[in-house]
């Protein structure tokens, strides 16, 4: 588990949010967007900002097992994105997720998410 | 009505109308060699414009000539009055020029002469570049790859070598930066002209490149801002068009080429071809330019403008080819393919011509000599501190002989002018850009250098 070993770095403060799996596919907190990707029946909540230049990963296409950033075509293995997704639990239709705390509280939304579709 | 269709009277009108355009108040003369802070003040010289022989269009030979300088300055002002400039220091003292520059009458006067001036400036490209045959995707890609590789091959940067080898590398590097300022200060303005309309997925692909050029809406990350930081870090001005008088004709022409190709919608494919080619070569070019600037200026120079292009244009090169050029060729067939290839070839041709122009300007080191024994020949002019300043391209090797007073010879925007005292002279080689100023009463004889 993260954050247990040695002189640990201070854990990132997180904020709790809830959303409905059937009604929402993303959460918005200020300028940050988190999108939902379903993989092997598991629900993953992923930061949309591309590590290259902040491109909108939620608008990227999934090609095989990789997500393609729509800006400069950076390829990200879906498996790795899901491994690094934000901590969440699902009970029935309700998902609880802990997102990085910021000035704005996350609000669940339904918006255009291309990357969430067809993620095998 | 026959008069308006005869070529002679057409050129007659062009002379008249281009002179009228160049008399507009925002294009008035100044005695200063630099234009501080006022983006609208762009001196055109009506007397010289009146002499311009429009019946002989430019060609490869005359691409960097004095006629090219005059015509391209005119065109540049027509194009740029389509884009918004506001002075960094605020509009307060420039309100009159602001209104004049964007006044509908000015715009109309410019539009009336634009099409003929465009034919004059770029008509020769139709003769110089021909595209024919059936092009398939593989051949198109192979040709692009070859062209890009060739542009980036070792030994392909004589200008960079010349900057390093110059007597004053800083002055030479400054000359390079001045030429880049034409595009750098307004970067991606030509690109912005085709963001509107409706042309399918390629429109969005173009927009992605544009978004990068604009730093994702973050002013400090905008390419033109990075360019300004480059200028300030080496003590150069960052306003349009401080260095108006020192843009070489070929530099203005290339900048105009992109406006020409984007203002005329049928030039779209040509634009994409030229843009894709440049974007595909920039990463390597800018990588090398960073090294030149480091060598010349040391640690003080802010090279983020170059570094940004060395990085992002690796993407832009690929995006422009894979997501724009190839899909457009596929979708729109022979007309598109022809236009795209014209653009790819034309920009290489113009780049070669401009490279030769810049190289000749950089390597010109004007030297004083004694006046020729057989006395002064040529036209004598009186100069004083309030005489209008202008730069021109010497049509043939020209001797400037100072008969009285002292003349200041400007051959580049950076560094000090060469002081030519009474009794001495200096030879301007054919094709070189120069301007002369005086700080007091001066008599100058200008004539062919025997
Ligand atoms: S921003 Fe995602 S690849 Fe560049
Ligand atoms: Fe750029
Ligand atoms: Fe670019």
Structural domains present in chain B: 7-125 (no CATH), 132-363 (1.20.910.10), 368-448 (2.60.120.10)
pLDDT of the residue at B5: 44
- Give the separation between CA B317 and CA B276, rounded to whole angstroms: 6
For residue B212, the chain A residues in CB contact (below 8 A) are 53, 71
- Give the separation between CA A52 and CA A6, rounded to whole angstroms: 31
Mutation target vs B (from A53, A60, A69, A70; most B CBs, 10 A cutoff): A53
Query: What is the SS3 assignment for B77?
Result: helix
- Give the separation between CA A99 and CA A27, rounded to whole angstroms: 9
- Quickly state the pLDDT bin for B114 (edges 50, 70, 90): very high
Question: Residue B297 pLDDT > 50, yes or no?
Answer: yes
pLDDT of the residue at B2: 37
Element (H, E) at B75: helix B66-80
User: What is the average pLDDT across B206-214?
Assistant: 97
- Percent of all residues in chain B with a pLDDT value above 70, rounded to a whole number: 96
Question: Residue B49 pLDDT > 50, yes or no?
Answer: yes
Q: Which among A74, A69, A82 has a CA at the least distance from the CA of A120?
A: A82
pLDDT of the residue at A120: 40
Instruction: Provide ipTM, 2 decimals.
Output: 0.77
Phi, psi of B364 (to 5 degrees): -80, 120
User: What is the average pLDDT across B72-98?
Assistant: 97
Q: Which among B433, B391, B437 has a CA at the least distance from the CA of B418?
A: B437
Calculate the average pLDDT of chain B: 95
| Contact yes or no for B448/B396 (Cβ under 8 A) | yes
- Quickly state the pLDDT bin for B378 (edges 50, 70, 90): confident
Q: Which among B386, B437, B429 has a CA at the least distance from the CA of B410?
A: B437
CB atoms within 10 A of CB B52: 21
**In angstroms, what is the span from residue A54 Cα to ligand 1's centroid?**
6
pLDDT of the residue at B96: 97
| Contact yes or no for B50/B22 (Cβ under 8 A) | no
Mutation target vs B (from A54, A71, A74; most B CBs, 10 A cutoff): A71
Q: Tally the C-alpha atoms within 13 A of residue B360's C-alpha that lie toward its C-beta.
A: 20
Q: Distance of alpha carbon B227 from its chain centroid, rounded?
A: 16
- The pTM assigned to this predicted structure is 0.92
Residue B221's closest chain A neighbor by CA? A53
- Give the separation between CA B226 and CA B188, rounded to whole angstroms: 13
Q: Distance of alpha carbon B156 from its chain centroid, rounded?
A: 21
Question: Residue B229 pLDDT > 90, yes or no?
Answer: yes
Question: Residue B125 pLDDT > 70, yes or no?
Answer: yes
Q: Which residues of A touch B (CB under 8 A)?
A: 53-54, 70-73
- Give the separation between CA A109 and CA A32, rounded to whole angstroms: 13
| Contact yes or no for B146/B152 (Cβ under 8 A) | no
pLDDT of the residue at A115: 86
**Spans in chain A with pLDDT lower than 50:** 1-4, 118-120
Contact between B212 and A53 using a beta-carbon 8 Å cutoff? yes
Question: Residue B407 pLDDT > 70, yes or no?
Answer: yes
Rounded to a whole number of angstroms, the distance from the CA of A89 to the nearest CA of chain B is 35
pLDDT of the residue at A16: 96
Q: Which of A33, A50, A76 to mutate to test the pocket of ligand 1 (most atoms within 8 A of CB)?
A: A50
Element (H, E) at B351: helix B326-363
pLDDT of the residue at B375: 61
- C-alpha dist (Å) from residue B247 to B2, B55, B228: 40, 25, 17
User: What is the average pLDDT across B263-289?
Assistant: 97
- Give the separation between CA B311 and CA B339, rounded to whole angstroms: 28
Q: What is the pLDDT of residues B409-431, one digit of tens each?
A: 999 999 999 999 999 999 999 99
More confident residue, A24 or B1: A24
User: What is the average pLDDT across B43-71?
Assistant: 97
Q: Which of A60, A74, A81, A114 to mutate to test the pocket of ligand 1 (most atoms within 8 A of CB)?
A: A74
Q: Which among B430, B59, B57, B64 has a CA at the least distance from the CA of B250?
A: B64
Question: Residue B8 pLDDT > 50, yes or no?
Answer: no
- β-bridge mates for residue A42, sequence order: A39
For residue B319, the chain A residues in CB contact (below 8 A) are 72-73
pLDDT of the residue at B4: 43
User: What is the average pLDDT across B430-450?
Assistant: 95
Query: What is the SS3 assignment for A5?
Result: coil
Say how many Å lie between the first and final Cα of chain B, rounded. 50
Q: Whose CA is nearest to atom 4 of ligand 1?
A: A72
User: What is the average pLDDT across B311-336?
Assistant: 97
pLDDT of the residue at B372: 74
Per CATH, domain A25-109 is 2.102.10.10:
yes
- The structural domains of chain A, with segments of one domain joined by +, span 25-109
């Amino acid at each position: 588990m993260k954050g247990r070993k040695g002189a640990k770095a201070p854990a990132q403060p997180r904020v709790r949010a809830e959303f409905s799996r059937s009604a929402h596919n993303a959460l918005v907190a200020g300028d940050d967007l988190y999108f939902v990707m379903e993989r092997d029946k598991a629900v993953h909540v992923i930061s949309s900002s591309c590590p290259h230049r902040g491109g909108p990963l939620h608008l990227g296409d999934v090609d095989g097992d990789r997500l393609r950033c729509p800006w400069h075509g950076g390829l990200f293995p879906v498996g790795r994105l899901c491994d690094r997704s934000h901590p969440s639990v699902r009970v029935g239709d309700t998902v609880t997720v802990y997102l990085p705390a910021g000035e704005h509280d996350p609000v669940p939304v339904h918006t255009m998410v291309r990357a969430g579709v067809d993620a095998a | 009505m026959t008069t308006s269709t005869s070529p002679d009277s057409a050129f007659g009108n062009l002379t008249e109308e281009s002179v009228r355009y160049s008399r507009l108040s925002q294009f008035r003369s100044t005695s200063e060699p630099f234009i501080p802070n006022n983006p609208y003040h762009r001196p055109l010289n009506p007397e010289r414009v009146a002499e311009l022989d429009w019946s002989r269009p430019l060609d490869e030979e005359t691409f960097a000539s004095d006629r090219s300088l005059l015509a391209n300055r005119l065109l540049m002002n027509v194009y740029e009055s389509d884009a918004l400039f506001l002075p960094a220091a605020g509009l307060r003292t420039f309100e009159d020029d602001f209104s004049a520059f964007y006044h509908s009458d000015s715009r109309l006067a410019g539009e009336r002469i634009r099409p003929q001036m465009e034919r004059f400036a770029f008509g020769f490209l139709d003769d110089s570049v021909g595209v024919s045959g059936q092009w398939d995707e593989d051949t198109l890609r192979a040709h692009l790859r070859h062209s890009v590789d060739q542009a980036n091959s070792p030994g392909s940067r004589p200008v960079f070598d010349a900057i390093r080898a110059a007597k004053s590398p800083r002055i030479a590097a400054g000359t390079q930066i001045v030429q880049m300022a034409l595009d750098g200060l307004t970067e991606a303005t030509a690109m912005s002209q085709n963001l509107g309309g409706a042309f399918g997925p390629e429109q969005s692909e173009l927009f992605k490149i544009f978004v990068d050029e604009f730093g994702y809406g973050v002013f400090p990350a905008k390419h033109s801002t990075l360019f300004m930081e480059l200028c300030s870090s080496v003590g150069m001005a960052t306003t349009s068009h401080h260095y108006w008088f020192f843009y070489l004709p070929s530099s203005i022409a290339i900048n105009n080429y992109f406006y020409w190709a984007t203002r005329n919608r049928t030039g779209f494919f040509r634009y994409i071809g030229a843009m894709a080619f440049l974007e595909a070569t920039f990463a390597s070019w800018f990588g090398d330019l960073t090294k030149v600037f480091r060598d010349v200026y040391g640690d003080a120079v802010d090279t983020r403008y170059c570094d940004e292009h060395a990085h992002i244009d690796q993407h832009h090169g690929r995006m422009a080819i894979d997501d724009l050029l190839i899909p457009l060729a596929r979708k729109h067939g022979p007309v598109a393919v022809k236009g795209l290839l014209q653009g790819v070839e034309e920009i290489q041709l113009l780049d070669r011509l401009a490279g030769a122009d810049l190289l000749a300007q950089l390597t010109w080191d004007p030297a004083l000599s004694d006046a020729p024994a057989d006395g002064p020949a040529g036209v004598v002019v009186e100069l004083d501190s309030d005489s209008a300043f202008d730069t021109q391209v010497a049509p043939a090797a020209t001797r400037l002989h100072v008969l009285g007073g002292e003349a200041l010879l400007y051959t580049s925007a950076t560094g000090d002018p060469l002081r030519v005292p009474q009794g001495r002279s200096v030879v301007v080689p054919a094709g070189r850009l120069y301007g002369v100023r005086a700080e007091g009463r001066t008599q100058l004889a200008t004539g062919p250098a025997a």
